[in-house]
Amino acid sequence: MKMKQTLIIGAGHAGQNLHLKTLKKLEINTLVGFVDNNIIKSIPDINRKNIFKNLSSVDGFPADSTVVHICTPPQSHKKIIEELLQMGYMNIIIEKPMSNNYKDAIDINTLIIDSNSQGTIFVVANWLYSKVIWHLRDKLSDTKLAVSTVKMQQSKPRFEKTTSNTYKESIFDIEMPHLVVLAMYLFGKDLKYNISKCGDMVYESITYKNMGWATLEMVSREGFIINLETSLVSKKRSRKLEITLEDKSKMMCTFPSGGDDNFISEFQSWTPNGELIDSITFQDETLSTFISMAYGAFNEEGAALISNGELNLEVCKMLEKAKSNSIHCP
C-alpha cells in the first residue's frame, strides 16, 4: 500500500521544525495531520481540521496508508505505540531515543513483534545516513590498520529548553543517543559499558543537576576505547568524530552544526606525523535522507533501515547503564 498521509504526534520543536519542515522539503505527502492536546494556535500550512487533540479523534488518515511520526518525550513512546498498533497503524517513525528506559524499550520491541511482523518502526538516527559517515566506513574498510581510539564530541547551548521543560529528562537522552547509535553502527552493537560521568548546568543562578555535560566510555570487542562527550552549556555548536589508528594516523568527520554550514560535513585524514592528506566536503542533509529512505522502505521501494527496534534496544540498554552508573561531577 502506498503511503499517502503523514500523522505527526507532537507539535513541538521536533514535530514542527524538524519533521514537518523535512516533509515539505521532500514533498513526500500532500496530506499531513498533527495530534497534540496542547495546540492552542494554528500550524502553518496545516488545515485546522487535520489537527487533533488525541488519537481517538483522528479522522481521514487510514492506518494502511499513513506513516506516523512520534515526536513526543521518550517516556510517552510506549503508550503511544500500544494505541497506534491497536488502531492498525503499522508504519512508525520514532524520535530518539526509542524510550527513556530499557524495560519500555523491550516492551516496544515485543509489541512490534507481536503485531505479526506487520509493524515496522524506525528510530531517528540521521547520522547513520550521513554521506561523510558512509565515506568513513569505506575508508575503515579499506585500511589494514587497527583502530586505536575513537572520540565523538557534541556541544551546543541548550539553556532555555532545558530549564523550561515541564517533564524530567536526562542529559543521556538528548544528544547522547545519536552518539551511541553511531558508535554501534560503526563498531558493532556489542560494545561494553565502561564508565560515565555528568555535570551540572547553572542558569540564572539556578543549578540543574546533571544537565550540563556528560561523558560515556565504551569498549569495543577488539578492545579499543570509544569516548563520547556531550555538552549542553557550550557557547558554540559542534559535532565531530575522530579516529586514531594504530600507527597514529587520524581520520576526522565534522558534521553540520547550523548557520551558514547547515548541511555541510567534512572528512579529513592525517599521516602519523600530522600531515593533512585528505579533505572532502559533502552536502549532507541527513534527516532528509533518513526520512526519504524510511518512506521508501514503508512503500516497499527500498531496503529496511538499520535504525530499527533491535539496534535501538541495545542503544537504550547502554544509555540505561550510563544513567544508573553515572558519576556526578559538580
CATH of the domain at 236: 3.30.360.10
Same domain, 260 and 274: yes
Query: Which residues, including other chains, have CB under 8 Å from residue 9's CB and lie 6 or more apart?
Result: 15, 34, 35, 36, 55, 68, 69, 70, 71, 72, 80
Residue 40 placed within a domain: yes
pLDDT bin (cut points 50, 70, 90) of residue 44 is confident
Same domain, 273 and 132: yes
Residue 310 placed within a domain: no
pLDDT at 260 over 60: no
pLDDT at 18 over 80: yes
Which of 158-172, 212-226, 315-329 shows the lowest mean pLDDT across its residues?
158-172
Same domain, 272 and 153: yes
| Per-residue pLDDT tens digits for 68-100 | 999 999 999 999 999 999 999 999 999 999 999
Q: Chain-centre distance of CA 163, in angstroms?
A: 21
- What is the average per-residue pLDDT within 214-227? 97
Same domain, 115 and 161: no
Our count of domains for the chain comes to 2
Find the farthest-apart pair of alpha carbons in the chain and give their distance in angstroms, rounded. 64
Query: What is the average pLDDT value for the chain, to the nearest integer?
Result: 92
For residue 151, the model assigns a pLDDT of 98
For residue 2, the model assigns a pLDDT of 80
Same domain, 106 and 144: no
Same domain, 139 and 59: no
For residue 163, the model assigns a pLDDT of 83
Please give, one letter per residue, the 3-state secondary structure of the chain: CCCCEEEEECCCHHHHHHHHHHHHHHCCCCEEEEECCCCCCCCCCCCHHHEECCHHHCCCCCHHHEEEEECCCHHHHHHHHHHHHHHCCCEEEECCCCCCCHHHHHHHHHHHHCCCCCCEEEECCHHHHCHHHHHHHHHHHHCCCCEEEEEEEEEEECHHHHHHCCCCCCHHHCCHHHHHHHHHHHHCCCCEEEEEEEEEEEECCEEEEEEEEEEEEEECCCCCEEEEEEECEEEEEEEEEEEEECCCCEEEEECCCCHHHCCEEEEEEECCCCCEEEEEEEECCHHHHHHHHHHHHHCCCCCCCCCCHHHHHHHHHHHHHHHHHCEECC
pLDDT bin (cut points 50, 70, 90) of residue 116 is low
For residue 165, the model assigns a pLDDT of 76
Residue 90 placed within a domain: yes
Q: What is the grid cell recorded at 186? A: 560503526
pLDDT at 261 over 60: no
pLDDT bin (cut points 50, 70, 90) of residue 45 is confident
Same domain, 169 and 80: no
Same domain, 30 and 175: no
**Under a CB-based contact definition with an 8 Å cutoff, are residues 210 and 198 in contact?**
yes
Backbone phi, then psi, for 60, in 5-degree steps?
90, 10
Same domain, 196 and 276: yes
- What is the average per-residue pLDDT within 23-36? 90
Backbone phi, then psi, for 284, in 5-degree steps?
-130, 80
Percentage of the chain exceeding pLDDT 70: 97
Which of 104-108, 111-115, 149-153, 280-284 shows the lowest mean pLDDT across its residues?
111-115
pLDDT at 259 over 60: no
Q: Which domain holds residue 182?
A: 127-284+318-328
